[in-house]
Structure 1
Amino acid sequence: MLAALVFIALCMHPAHGQTCTEGFAFDRRIRQCIDVDECRSMPDACRGDMRCVNQNGGYLCLPRSLYNQPYRPETPAQPDPAYSDTALGFADTFPASPPRSVEPSYPRVRGTAQCILGYVVAEDGTCNDIDECETNSHHCNPTQVCINTSGGYTCSCTEGYWLIGGQCQDIDECRYGYCQQLCANVPGSYSCSCNTGFLLNLDSRTCQDVDECADEPCSHGCFNTYGSFMCNCDEGFELQEDGTNCKDLDECGFSDFLCQHRCVNTPGSFSCICPPGYYVYEDGRSCEDINECDTGNNTCTTAQVCFNFQGGYTCLDPLQCPLPYIEVSENQCMCSAENPACRDKPFTILYRHMDLSSGRSVPADIFQMQATTRYPGAFYIFQIKSGNDGREFHMRQTSNVSATLVLSRPITGPRELVLDLEMVTVNNVINFRGSSIIRLTIFVSEHPF
Structure 2
Amino acid sequence: MLTALLLALCCIHSGRAQTCSEGFTYDRRSRQCIDVDECRTLPDACRLDMRCVNQNGGYLCIPRSLYSQSYARPNSPPYPEPVYPVPDTSVGFAEQFRQEPAGPVAPSYPIVSRSAPCLLGYALGEDGTCVDIDECETSAHQCNPTQVCFNTDGGYTCSCTEGYWLVGGQCQDIDECRYGYCQQLCANIPGSYSCSCNPGFILNPDSRTCQDIDECEDEPCSHACFNTYGSYMCNCDEGFELGADGTTCNDLDECSFSDFLCQYRCVNTPGSFSCVCPPGYYIFEDGRSCEDLNECDTGNNTCTTAQVCFNFQGRYKCLDPLICEAPYIEFSDNQCMCSAENPTCRDRPFAILYRHMDLSSGRTVPADIFQMQATTRYPGAFYIFQIKSGNEGREFYMRQTSNLSATLVLSRPITGPREVVLDLEMVTVNNVINFRGSSIIRLTIFVSEHPF
TM-score (norm 2): 0.74
**2-structure distance, mates of 1:429, 1:107:** 177
Aligned length: 376
**2-structure distance, mates of 1:425, 1:55:** 171
Give the direction of change, closer, same or farther, for the CA distance of 1:401–1:114 in structure 2 (3 Å limit): farther
Give the direction of change, closer, same or farther, for the CA distance of 1:211–1:438 in structure 2 (3 Å limit): same
**2-structure distance, mates of 1:148, 1:203:** 34
Give the direction of change, closer, same or farther, for the CA distance of 1:151–1:61 in structure 2 (3 Å limit): closer
Match of 1:164?
A: 167
Asked whether the 8 Å contact 1:331–1:351 carries over to 2, the reply is: yes
Matched, 1:412 2:415: yes
Asked whether the 8 Å contact 1:56–1:110 carries over to 2, the reply is: no
**1-structure distance, mates of 2:199, 2:83:** 64
Match of 1:387?
A: 390
Once the two structures are TM-superposed, the CA of residue 56 in structure 1 deviates from its matched residue by 9.2
Matched, 1:347 2:350: yes
Asked whether the 8 Å contact 1:161–1:188 carries over to 2, the reply is: yes
The residue type equivalent to 1:355 in the other structure is: D
Match of 2:336?
A: 333
Deviation per CA, 1:292-327: give whole Å up to 9, x if none: 010011111122111000011011111122222222
Give the direction of change, closer, same or farther, for the CA distance of 1:230–1:6 in structure 2 (3 Å limit): closer
Give the direction of change, closer, same or farther, for the CA distance of 1:106–1:330 in structure 2 (3 Å limit): farther
The residue type equivalent to 2:264 in the other structure is: H
Deviation per CA, 1:22-45: give whole Å up to 9, x if none: xxxxxxxxxxx955567xx9xxxx
* Aligned alpha-carbon RMSD (Å): 3.4
The residue type equivalent to 1:408 in the other structure is: S
Asked whether the 8 Å contact 2:373–2:404 carries over to 1, the reply is: yes
- Structure 2: 5+ residue runs without aligned partners? 1-9, 12-18, 21-31, 36-68, 95-107
Match of 1:21?
A: none
TM alignment of 1:300-379, pairs within 5 A: 300-379=303-382
Deviation per CA, 1:141-180: give whole Å up to 9, x if none: 2222222334543322111111222221111122222222
Asked whether the 8 Å contact 1:324–1:341 carries over to 2, the reply is: yes
Match of 1:297?
A: 300
Q: Of 248, 251, 256, which aligns to 1:248?
A: 251
Once the two structures are TM-superposed, the CA of residue 86 in structure 1 deviates from its matched residue by 10
The residue type equivalent to 2:354 in the other structure is: Y
What is the identity percentage for the equivalent residue pairs of Structure 1 and Structure 2?
79
Asked whether the 8 Å contact 1:6–1:116 carries over to 2, the reply is: no
Match of 1:287?
A: 290
Asked whether the 8 Å contact 2:71–2:111 carries over to 1, the reply is: no
**1-structure distance, mates of 2:110, 2:159:** 24
Asked whether the 8 Å contact 1:85–1:155 carries over to 2, the reply is: no
Match of 2:191?
A: 188
Deviation per CA, 1:383-431: give whole Å up to 9, x if none: 1111111111111112222111111111111100101111112222222
Once the two structures are TM-superposed, the CA of residue 130 in structure 1 deviates from its matched residue by 3.9
TM-score (norm 1): 0.75
Asked whether the 8 Å contact 1:107–1:117 carries over to 2, the reply is: no
The residue type equivalent to 1:246 in the other structure is: C
Matched, 1:268 2:271: yes
Give the direction of change, closer, same or farther, for the CA distance of 1:7–1:61 in structure 2 (3 Å limit): farther
The residue type equivalent to 2:365 in the other structure is: V
**2-structure distance, mates of 1:180, 1:238:** 37
Asked whether the 8 Å contact 2:72–2:110 carries over to 1, the reply is: no
The residue type equivalent to 2:442 in the other structure is: R
Q: Which range moved further: 108-117 or 154-163?
A: 108-117
Asked whether the 8 Å contact 1:86–1:154 carries over to 2, the reply is: no
**2-structure distance, mates of 1:270, 1:418:** 41
Once the two structures are TM-superposed, the CA of residue 438 in structure 1 deviates from its matched residue by 1.0
Asked whether the 8 Å contact 1:57–1:114 carries over to 2, the reply is: no
Secondary structure of the structure 2 residue equivalent to 1:252: helix
Secondary structure of the structure 2 residue equivalent to 1:399: coil
Give the direction of change, closer, same or farther, for the CA distance of 1:109–1:338 in structure 2 (3 Å limit): farther
Q: Which range moved further: 228-237 or 375-384?
A: 228-237
**2-structure distance, mates of 1:329, 1:88:** 134
- Structure 1: 5+ residue runs without aligned partners? 9-32, 42-53, 67-83, 90-104
Match of 1:219?
A: 222
